[in-house]
């Protein structure tokens, strides 16, 4: 499992604008939560789709994908957008 | 005579903490090292959290939270998004600042090596192995077969009429198809199987302990999702060669699988 997560982690970080990757089990362990932090300028629908595809390809369990967009300087605090993947 | 700077660096690397980290970098490397390094910090000083923020012109800003934990709003997210490069701990450990600086430098080196290695072995479009990365696995599989008699199959896959898909959807649409096929291949494999994109619309699989009949039925015909109202149905041509029964070298395996792929294209 760790190898898979290491690959997922590195592959996501190779996408433009990805700053951080986090992984955790959901509260009751029924699904995996993957958090991807990305800069606002790179948070296009294409990159989000790419994030979803890469994550789906590595995680077999039910998945909750949380994309956190880091705003540009002066923008409001980062917002999280949990989506079922 | 060494200058003060080099003495300081040499001193830092001879501390038990730095020595342990350097040994781990040599043995694990890359992202594995970075998470081990952060865990080492947590255990060494009984901390609540540790975050490495590294930055490089080539790979930009990268943030690693100990335990690969998501960044919760608060201390962790503030450090991750707002602080300059460095290793940060919660609570801050002032008297080991030099060791944190050493950890940060090693983390930066580790990620740079990891990313360079990844890029040299993977296809940027699909995330699968590229020809070089796939051939490395294939060469190892041939060696294991010669030494231990472990069999495997090489599967070559070609997308039929990919040019017409490119003409119809444009190059971005063609790329989306290749990405989708790559995702489907990856998800249909078992642990230990290897998948690569070895040419424009050519893919390859390495399936350990499988004979020529190993091609999963799902690979024969793929309906890929590319965000189109009328998604293209992708037909594949497939050629399989098994080692050691049919061929015993990398070149012979490619030749036989390629020959069978073109035979299947003519059908």
Give the ipTM of the model, two decimals please. Answer: 0.85
| pLDDT value of residue B202 | 95
Q: Which residues on adjacent β-strands are paired with residue B115?
A: none
Asked if B52 and B148 sit in the same domain, the reply is no
Q: How does pLDDT run across B30-52, given as a tens digit for each residue?
A: 999 999 999 999 998 899 999 99
B58 domain residue, yes or no: yes
Does one domain contain both B29 and B140? no
Does one domain contain both B163 and B52? no
What is the pLDDT, as a whole number, of residue B219?
60
Q: Which domains does chain A have, with CATH numbers?
A: 2-84 (3.30.300.30)
Of B89, B121, B153, the last residue of a domain is: B121
The number of domains in chain B is: 2
B126 belongs to a structural domain: no
Higher pLDDT, residue A83 or B124: B124
For residue B141, what pLDDT is reported? 95
**Residue B2 confidence (pLDDT):** 37
Same domain for B80 and B143, yes or no, is no
Mark whether B162 and B136 lie in a shared domain.
yes
- If asked whether residues B13 and B36 sit together in one domain, one would say yes
User: Which residues from chain B sit within 8 angstroms of residue A55, using beta carbons?
Assistant: none
Predicted confidence at residue B11, as pLDDT, reads: 43
- Is residue B14 located within the same domain as residue B71? yes
Q: Which residues of chain B have pLDDT under 50?
A: 1-13, 218, 221, 223, 225-227
Which of B121, B149, B177 lies at the terminal end of a domain, its last residue? B121
- Say yes or no for a CB contact (<8 Å) between B80 and A21: no
Question: pLDDT value at position B210?
Answer: 65
| Owning domain of residue B75 | 4-121
Whether residues B108 and B145 share a domain: the answer is no
CB contact under 8 A, B62 and A11: no
Question: Is residue B154 one of the residues assigned to a domain?
Answer: yes
Chain B interface includes A81 (CB < 8 A): no
pLDDT at residue A82 tops 60: no
pTM: 0.76
Predicted pLDDT at B1: 36
- Secondary structure, 3-state, chain B: CCCHHHHHHHHHHHCHHHHHHHHHHHHCCHHHHHHHHHHHHHHHHCCCEEEEEEEECCCEEEEEEHHHCCCCCCHHHHHHHHCCCEEEEECCCHHHHHHHHHHHHHHHHHHHHHHHHHHHHECCCCCCECHHHHHHHHHHHHHHHHHHCCCEEEEEEEECCHHHHHHHHHHHHHHHHHHHHHHHHHHHCCCCCEEEECCCCEEEEEEECCCHHHCCHHHCEEECCCCCCCCCEEEEEEEEEEECCCCCCHHHHHHHHHHHHHHHHHC
Distance from CA of B267 to the nearest CA of A (A): 32
Q: Is residue B232 part of a domain?
A: yes
* Chain B residues with beta carbon closer than 8 angstroms to that of A10: 30-31, 114-115, 118
Confidence of residue A20 (pLDDT cuts 50, 70, 90): very high
What is the model's pLDDT at position B79? 94
Q: Residue B221: which CATH number?
A: 3.30.70.270
The pLDDT of residue B23: 81
Q: What mean pLDDT do residues A44-59 have? A: 86
* Confidence tier at A75 by pLDDT (50, 70, 90): very low
- A–B: how many Cβ contacts below 8 A? 71
Q: Where does the pLDDT of residue A78 fall: very low under 50, low under 70, confident under 90, or very high at 90 and above?
A: very low
Task: Note the pLDDT tens digit of each residue in B77-98.
Answer: 999 999 999 999 999 988 888 8
Residue A21 Cα, gap to closest chain B Cα (Å): 7
Mean pLDDT of A54-58: 86
Taking all residues of chain A, what is their mean pLDDT, rounded to a whole number?
82
């Amino acid at each position: 499992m760790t190898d898979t997560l290491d690959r997922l982690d590195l592959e996501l970080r190779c996408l433009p604008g990805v700053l951080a990757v986090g992984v955790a089990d959901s509260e009751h362990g029924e699904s995996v939560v993957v958090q991807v932090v990305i800069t606002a300028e790179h948070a296009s629908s294409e990159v989000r789709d790419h994030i979803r595809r890469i994550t789906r390809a590595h995680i077999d369990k039910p998945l909750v994908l949380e994309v956190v967009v880091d705003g540009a300087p002066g923008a409001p605090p980062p917002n999280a957008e949990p989506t079922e993947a | 005579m060494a200058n003060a700077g080099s003495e300081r660096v040499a001193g830092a690397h001879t501390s038990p903490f730095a020595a342990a980290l350097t040994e781990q970098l040599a043995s694990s490397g890359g992202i594995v090292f970075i998470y081990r390094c952060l865990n080492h910090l947590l255990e060494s000083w009984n901390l609540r959290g540790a975050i490495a923020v590294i930055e490089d012109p080539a790979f930009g800003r990268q943030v690693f939270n100990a335990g690969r934990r998501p960044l919760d709003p608060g201390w962790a997210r503030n450090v991750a998004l707002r602080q300059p490069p460095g290793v940060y701990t919660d609570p801050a450990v002032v008297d080991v600042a030099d060791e944190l600086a050493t950890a940060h430098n090693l983390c930066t080196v580790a990620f740079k090596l990891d990313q360079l290695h990844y890029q040299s072995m993977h296809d940027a479009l699909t995330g699968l192995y590229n020809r070089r990365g796939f051939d490395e696995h294939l060469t190892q599989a041939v060696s294991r077969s010669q030494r231990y008699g472990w069999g495997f199959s090489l599967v070559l896959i070609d997308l039929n009429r990919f040019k017409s898909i490119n003409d119809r959807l444009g190059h971005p649409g063609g790329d989306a198809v290749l990405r989708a096929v790559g995702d489907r291949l990856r998800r249909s494999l078992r642990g230990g199987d290897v998948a690569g994109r070895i040419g424009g619309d050519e893919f390859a699989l390495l399936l350990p302990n499988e004979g020529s009949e190993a091609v999963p039925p799902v690979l024969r015909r793929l309906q890929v999702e590319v965000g189109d109202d009328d998604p293209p149905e992708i037909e594949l041509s497939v050629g399989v060669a098994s080692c050691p029964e049919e061929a015993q070298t990398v070149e012979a395996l490619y030749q036989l699988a390629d020959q069978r792929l073109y035979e299947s294209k003519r059908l």
